[in-house]
Structure 1
Amino acid sequence: MRHLLTGHELDRDSLLALLDRAAQLKREPLASRALDRRTVALVFQKPSTRTRVSFESGVVELGGHPMVLRPDDLQISRGESLRDTARVLGRHVAAVGVRGHDDGELEALAAEDQLPVFNMLTAGHHPCQALADLLTLQEAFGRVEGLRVAYVGDGNNVLRSLHDVGALAGVEVVAASPLAYTLDGVPAETDPREAVRDAHAVYTDVWISMGDEDSGSKRMALEPYRLDEALLDEAAPGAIALHCLPAHPGEEISEGLLYGHRQRIWDQAENRRHAQKAMLEWLLEVGPFA
């Protein structure tokens, strides 16, 4: 049984096939009925815009029914074990996605091997975002292998997945962060201009994550890492700006870049749906992945 918890479950060939399939599904959104009369449970322990909209609409386009569940909808909130929850869900739905906090909870759910489990965001990983990022790069440059992406700002789950999944596709990911906000295992510079040199894309994310809204000291530390026109000018000719959203114009990214012609940010947001549809086909071993 397949799961997608970190992205390491994919090998290079599967990842490239998934990206090609996502591009095909973007051209022909209703070409697949892989989820015909099947239900996919989507468990949201945290608020969401892009993840919820893209998964709900994507499951419908694949012919399935998205069952959105909040914590209070499940007996987990009253102490029922993940083991029992997995066994019940496995009798009713084709797969379950979780947007939550603890990577360990997701791993425990998958360990029961009752149904395919996929990660819609945890504290440590965001593989579905990375798939959309790679699809966006492939659209912009006609390839992914050999590209260099510079990430500036807070080292977080988005950076982790971009680095790890990108490496499978031959994408070099480097980061620029203050020392206090670097991410273990990801090459990092403290000088953002050095990091973006020769980069085909410069990527950023919010400085303050959900639950950390009062961290003024963090904002001050990240001020020099704002993605603006001057920083993008230091990258390779034709470089693009990327952001996984939500954005705070004037904080981690300039308003001019966010809404200007040098970005592919809104394509990224759309590409969540297409990449996730291909991922679901891969996860359930249907369509071209049968």
Structure 2
Amino acid sequence: MRATELKILQQKDFLALADLSGDQILHLLELAKDIKNKLSKGEEYRPLNGKTLGMIFEKSSTRTRVSFEVGMLQLGGHALFLSSNDLQIGRGETISDTAKVLSQYLDGIMIRTFEHEKVKELAANADIPVINGLTDSAHPCQALADLLTIQEVKGSLKGFKMAYIGDGNNMAHSLMIACAKTGMDFAIGCPSNYMPDNEIVELAQKEAAANNCKIEVHTSAEAAIKDADIVYSDVWTSMGQEQENELRLKEFKDYQINAELVSGAKTDYIFMHCLPAHREEEVTAEIIDGPHSVIFHQAGNRLHAQKAILVDLMS
């Protein structure tokens, strides 16, 4: 049976990789590769013909909006951009009422917002699939695209080590879980005041133990990056943290990805970043624009990974 004929996700929604098994994640990746291959061959593949995805944005976006819109178009469906400023949700309508109303019109909802609880409440009250396009605690679509990129560049996932250097944020959480569930070692190096959530670390370590891999948390960037196959960075100041920018620039100054730091990684390491990037802050131009960088391959895979999610949930 072809990947595109399988139903992978047992639940209605795609909210966090923690909700999935390792096998489900790997099957989604196979589906993404199958769909990507169809596109490269020019094969018509429109399983979402006539379907509509509503996209709620409380945080602005480049990659999320464009990749979901283009993905729905290529799959035969249609995407509606819904700014929170234009919805009654921005004027006090409850999440539950919004979910129930949108369920009457749409075939799926993608939301990019702040609080993860808001996404969970939306999903609990919607009769249609809800996809987490980003919250403050998780970014599962990006992490799935990252795994797809690693598979394509490195050939597999198991046995490799990812070093994440920077803030213990939503990206760190999703990558940590992604690695643990697919058999990859993961090490984070971050300041003590910016550690990832303890519950997520504990869950990842439990998953890693079952999959013969390791999850390590360090305050030293050098310790985390030692012998890494994948070096990953994110901005030091995320959306909604602008008032902390000056403090963060000082606290993260020893966590910049530069030539000296990456000398501790393997010689054939790849550099990844979820973008947008601030050159000469979290990473030097020499690294992000250098031969080890796969950031645009990675960005492109958002389209294919998300199409896999859309097809599985909505077709």
TM range (shorter): over 0.9
Structure 1, 229-238 or 101-110: larger mean CA deviation: 229-238
CA contact (8 A) 2:190 2:219 kept: yes
Q: Which residue of 1 aligns with 2:68?
A: 55
CA contact (8 A) 1:153 1:177 kept: yes
Q: Determine whether 1:240 maps to 2:270.
A: yes
| Matched AA of 2:192 | L
Q: What are the equivalent positions in structure 2 for 1:181-196 lying under 5 Å apart?
A: 181-185=194-198, 186=201, 187-196=216-225
Residue of 231, 236, 249 corresponding to 1:202: 231
- Post-superposition offset of 1:2: 1.2
Structure 1, 128-137 or 179-188: larger mean CA deviation: 179-188
CA contact (8 A) 1:25 1:31 kept: no
State the distance in 2 between where 1:264 and 1:231 align: 18
Q: Which residue of 2 aligns with 1:165?
A: 178
State the distance in 1 between where 2:285 and 2:36 align: 28
State the distance in 2 between where 1:88 and 1:113 align: 8
Residue of 231, 238, 243 corresponding to 2:261: 231
Q: Determine whether 1:156 maps to 2:169.
A: yes
State the distance in 1 between where 2:263 and 2:36 align: 31
- Post-superposition offset of 1:19: 0.6
Q: CA RMSD of the aligned region, Å?
A: 1.3
Structure 2 counterpart SS, 1:8? helix
Residue of 241, 259, 262 corresponding to 1:212: 241
Quote the sequence identity (%): 41
Alpha-carbon spacing, 1:211–1:83, altered in 2? closer, same or farther (3 Å): closer
State the distance in 1 between where 2:227 and 2:168 align: 21
State the distance in 2 between where 1:210 and 1:176 align: 21
| Matched AA of 2:135 | T
Aligned residues: 285
- Post-superposition offset of 1:6: 1.2
Residue of 93, 102, 121 corresponding to 1:108: 121
State the distance in 2 between where 1:232 and 1:31 align: 43
| Matched AA of 1:3 | D
Could you state the TM-score of these two structures normalised by the residue count of structure 2? 0.87
State the distance in 2 between where 1:9 and 1:33 align: 28
State the distance in 2 between where 1:188 and 1:13 align: 25
Alpha-carbon spacing, 1:31–1:172, altered in 2? closer, same or farther (3 Å): farther
Structure 1 counterpart SS, 2:268? coil
Q: Determine whether 1:126 maps to 2:139.
A: yes
Q: Determine whether 1:27 maps to 2:37.
A: yes
Structure 1 counterpart SS, 2:85? helix
- Post-superposition offset of 1:166: 2.2
State the distance in 1 between where 2:86 and 2:45 align: 30
State the distance in 2 between where 1:220 and 1:204 align: 17
CA contact (8 A) 2:141 2:306 kept: yes
Q: Which residue of 2 aligns with 1:64?
A: 77
Could you state the TM-score of these two structures normalised by the residue count of structure 1? 0.94
Structure 2 counterpart SS, 1:174? strand
CA contact (8 A) 2:96 2:126 kept: no
| Matched AA of 2:94 | S
Deviations 1:34-82 (Å, cap 9, x if unpaired)?
A: 2111100110011101111111111111111011100122111222222
Q: Determine whether 1:98 maps to 2:111.
A: yes
Q: What are the equivalent positions in structure 2 for 1:253-272 lying under 5 Å apart?
A: 253-272=283-302
CA contact (8 A) 1:163 1:173 kept: yes
Stretches of structure 2 lacking an aligned partner (at least 5 in a row): 1-10, 202-215
Structure 1 counterpart SS, 2:56? strand
Stretches of structure 1 lacking an aligned partner (at least 5 in a row): none
Q: Which residue of 2 aligns with 1:179?
A: 192
- Post-superposition offset of 1:226: 0.5
Structure 1, 176-185 or 246-255: larger mean CA deviation: 176-185
- Post-superposition offset of 1:231: 1.7
- Post-superposition offset of 1:113: 4.1
Q: Which residue of 2 aligns with 1:9?
A: 19
State the distance in 1 between where 2:258 and 2:38 align: 35
Deviations 1:226-277 (Å, cap 9, x if unpaired)?
A: 0112222211220011100000111100101111111111111101000000
